[in-house]
Amino acid sequence: MKTILTGIKPTGKLTLGNYIGVLKRLKDFQNQGECYIFIADLHALTLPIEPSELNENSIDIACFYLAAGLDPNKITLFLQSSVSAHAEMAIILQNYLYMGELSRMTQFKDKSSKMNKNSIGLGLFAYPVLMAGDILLYDADEVPVGEDQIQHVELTRDLVKRINNRYGDVFKMPSAKFNKVGARIMSLSDPSKKMSKSDPKGDIFLKDDVKTIRKKIMSAVTDSGCEIKYDEENKPGISNLLTIYACMKNISIEEAEKVFNGYRYGDFKKCVADAVIEEIEPFQQRYIEIKENKLYEDVLRQGALKANKKSQEVLNRIKEKIGLLKA
């Protein structure tokens, strides 16, 4: 049986991009293999964050995972910080990844370019090291991600080759699993940019009320044309809305284009808003129920126990291979 691992970092309010890129897909994954799903709270520390915000976001993500249809009896859901092997593995792996390759990571370049040079933390630079450990600790075969995380999974694959070449078969080779459609949902106000928690302009948040969602979609930036056609270069706004619609309805882009043949932009946007609301509204109701009844608490406790057990096995394997003595 294959092993699937994925995480979301609690850096802000989750967006429709996080939902389409990963959350929505998880329900199917839980029937395809052993799933380790976590809240990447250690990753959230790589940029400044208020303790209360980190706390609240972590609870929200746990509730969103469950609201997305994850069954605690089928999956292991846990907080990254409740499994100390993640930190220990990162300390080991950092010796096998190089400064040059880490400085070429797009996410690091993007995030650090917006910061004062003197306040870029070592953790932000070493983010892919921690992430490689997350993946390798569970012998993951598949890592469901959005497009922006593929580069980090590729780096993990390079690391596996490097370590296995040197020490024999230590780690399993993981691969990124992303959907062709919906791997990169763009901002509604600037469709040249990814919809992102940390750059909230143009985001649809999963906690937005229905009225706000509709308003945001109706005022999404499009173009001066009138044709509803997928063309990322010349019609990025329309292409993004077509992608959102296709993902909500589980159809292809071509099918979505056919639906809107001859539609005006305003009517098209209304249908996109209807499709998003139809899916997100019941999802939000499940989220509220889970949060109010604190249904996540026991799930996270049980998840930590299982994740600790599995990750210790792998951690012991690498420690032994590299020559660390067991006392």
Give catalytic residue positions: 111, 194, 197
Say if residues 206 and 237 touch (Cβ distance below 8 Å): no
Q: Does 62 bind ligand AQP (CB under 6 A)?
A: no
Q: Does 76 bind ligand AQP (CB under 6 A)?
A: no
- Please identify which residue in 40, 67, 93, 126 interacts with ligand AQP, judged by CB under 6 A: 40
Amino acid at 123: G
Residue nearest to ligand AQP (CB): 21
- Please identify which residue in 11, 46, 57, 239 interacts with ligand AQP, judged by CB under 6 A: 11
Say if residues 76 and 306 touch (Cβ distance below 8 Å): yes
Cβ at position 172, least distance to ligand AQP in Å: 20
Cβ at position 203, least distance to ligand AQP in Å: 8
Cβ at position 261, least distance to ligand AQP in Å: 26
Measured from the CB atom, the residue of 20 and 68 that comes closer to ligand AQP is: 20
* Cα angle, residue 85 at apex, residues 314 and 8 outer, rounded to 5°: 105
User: What are the residues whose beta carbons fall under 8 Å from the beta carbon of 17, sequence distance 6 or more?
Assistant: 146, 184, 185, 194, 195, 196, 203
Q: How many Å separate Cα 291 from the centre of its chain?
A: 21
- Please identify which residue in 198, 212, 285, 293 interacts with ligand AQP, judged by CB under 6 A: 198
Contact track, ligand AQP, 156-195, x by CB under 6 A? ---------------------------xxx--------xx
Cβ at position 234, least distance to ligand AQP in Å: 21
Could you tell me how many residues of this chain bind ligand AQP (CB under 6 A)? 23
- In this structure, the chain runs to a length of 327
Rg value, the chain, Cα: 20
CA proximity to 69, closest of 117, 30, 121, 114: 30
Q: Does 20 bind ligand AQP (CB under 6 A)?
A: yes
Cβ at position 47, least distance to ligand AQP in Å: 7
Measured from the CB atom, the residue of 149 and 311 that comes closer to ligand AQP is: 149
Name the residue with tokens 């928690």: 197
Cα separation of 320 and 300, whole Å? Answer: 30
Measured from the CB atom, the residue of 217 and 318 that comes closer to ligand AQP is: 217
Cβ at position 161, least distance to ligand AQP in Å: 23
- 157 three-state secondary structure: helix
- Please identify which residue in 22, 26, 132, 307 interacts with ligand AQP, judged by CB under 6 A: 22
Give the C-alpha distances (Å, rounded to integers) separating 280 from 15, 103, 210, 227.
11, 37, 9, 27
Give the C-alpha distances (Å, rounded to integers) separating 286 from 16, 21, 40, 74, 235.
16, 20, 22, 18, 35
CA proximity to 148, closest of 188, 109, 107: 107
Residues 111-150 touching ligand AQP, rule: CB under 6 A, are 145-146, 148-149
The contact set with ligand AQP (CB under 6 A) reads 8-9, 11-12, 15, 17-18, 20-22, 40, 145-146, 148-149, 183-185, 194-198
